[in-house]
Amino acid sequence: MRDLARLPKAHLHLHFTGSMRVSTLGELAEQHGIRLPGALLDSDPLHVPATERGWFRFQRLYDAARACVRGEADMRRVIAEAVADDAAEGSGRLEIQVDPTSYAPFVGGITPALEIVLDEARAASVRHAVSVGVVVAASRMRHPLEARTLARLAARYAGDGSGDVIGFGLSNDERRGDTAEFAAAFAIARRAGLAAVPHGGELLGPAHVHDVVTHLHPDRLGHGVRTGEDPRLLHDVVERGIALEVCPASNVSLGVYPDAGAVPLGALVDAGAQVALGADDPLLFRSRLVAQYEVARDVHGFDDDALADLARASIRASRADDATRVRLLAGVDAWLAAPAPAPVLTARGGADRNP
């Protein structure tokens, strides 16, 4: 079996706060004298039901983690470590989502907050040879006018180099806010050439995906995993070339599916969907990027050809520049061309059992 950490891939669904290492969160909390809920620092993945209460619990923990990031040095550390960790997992392209509003009070406004993220993304990209784009994400919990302000800010930094803004997102509880009211913000982002990458189709089903597709014209759907509950809608999403950022660990932690085997990964791929696997919030789900590919291999039976296709889909669905895409796709071919190492026999297999 080939090493999945060496498979070149693009990571298109990772949140700024959610990317944090548990150890970093603990250190930042101590530094700032913040008492964290125990659930944030233990080793268990979060498990909540897919209800408003479940989401509330997730959000409370998320907010507590976010409150530990207080200022430029902390922000730079989060980005630097996210890029370093992605590099270690074979990601050659990271598109990380941030809502600069949360950090604005510590650094003098949303513009400096975004500048810090972009500057560190650029620097970390050079250090780790990972191309890094940034998605500015608005929140469904806030007024749609705030989303417009963020879209205008994002538009000013649009580009396809490392440390540029490449997309505009919409996150938080899918059940909140009126999707249509965010259309104006997405129109601003689209005019600036940004990818539209709203969340949709994780907590809610096809009707919500239909709303998001109709009003926000996404290039990719954050999750979109429940699109297949309506085969006609899935067909439409595939026809429009809307990629799905599928995050199995997130789906299980948030109670959308009872276990990783129930995530309809194979069905989506078989229907022709472009699927890019992502980790979403490894801080809470305790599962990073390679683990999502391991789910595809170990739980869904994807062989190395199919895993290489998943990696190619992630690269093609990214907003990396052409040279980066060509280089990463060539890397996938090379990964597949290399002979698969012989399986290591474990004690159960008998090879290294003591006589």
User: Whole-number minimum distance, CB 97 to Zn ion, in Å?
Assistant: 7
Contact by Cβ (8 Å): 250, 15: no
Amino acid at 171: S
Which of left, alpha, beta for 173 (phi over 0: left; psi -120 to 50: alpha)?
beta
Our answer to whether residue 202 is catalytic in this structure is: yes
Give the helix ranges, DSSP H, for the chain.
22-31, 38-41, 52-66, 72-88, 104-107, 110-128, 144-156, 183-191, 206-216, 231-239, 248-253, 265-270, 282-285, 289-294, 304-317, 322-337
Q: Which is nearer to Zn ion, 131 or 171 (CB)?
A: 171
Contact by Cβ (8 Å): 281, 22: no
Query: Applying CB under 5 A, what is the total number of residues that bind Zn ion?
Result: 1
Interface stretch with Zn ion, choices 119-127, 279-287, 291-299, 300-308 (CB under 5 A): 279-287
Nearest to 279 by CA among 250, 317, 299: 250
Task: Select which of 89, 202, 229, 294 is catalytic.
Answer: 202
User: Whole-number minimum distance, CB 199 to Zn ion, in Å?
Assistant: 6
Residue nearest to Zn ion (CB): 280
Interface stretch with Zn ion, choices 54-62, 231-239, 257-265, 273-281 (CB under 5 A): 273-281
User: Whole-number minimum distance, CB 308 to Zn ion, in Å?
Assistant: 25
Q: Which is nearer to Zn ion, 48 or 329 (CB)?
A: 48
Vertex 187 angle, CA 183 and 190, to 5°:
135
Q: Which of 74, 120, 219, 280 is in the footprint of Zn ion by CB under 5 A?
A: 280
Q: Which is nearer to Zn ion, 85 or 280 (CB)?
A: 280
User: Whole-number minimum distance, CB 280 to Zn ion, in Å?
Assistant: 5
Tokens found for residue 125: 């990209």
Interface stretch with Zn ion, choices 55-63, 77-85, 265-273, 280-288 (CB under 5 A): 280-288
Torsion of CA 143, 60, 205, 149, to 10 degrees: 20
User: Whole-number minimum distance, CB 173 to Zn ion, in Å?
Assistant: 11
Interface stretch with Zn ion, choices 60-68, 113-121, 276-284, 289-297 (CB under 5 A): 276-284
Tokens found for residue 232: 């006609």
Q: Which residues are catalytic?
A: 202
Contact residues: Zn ion, CB under 5 A: 280
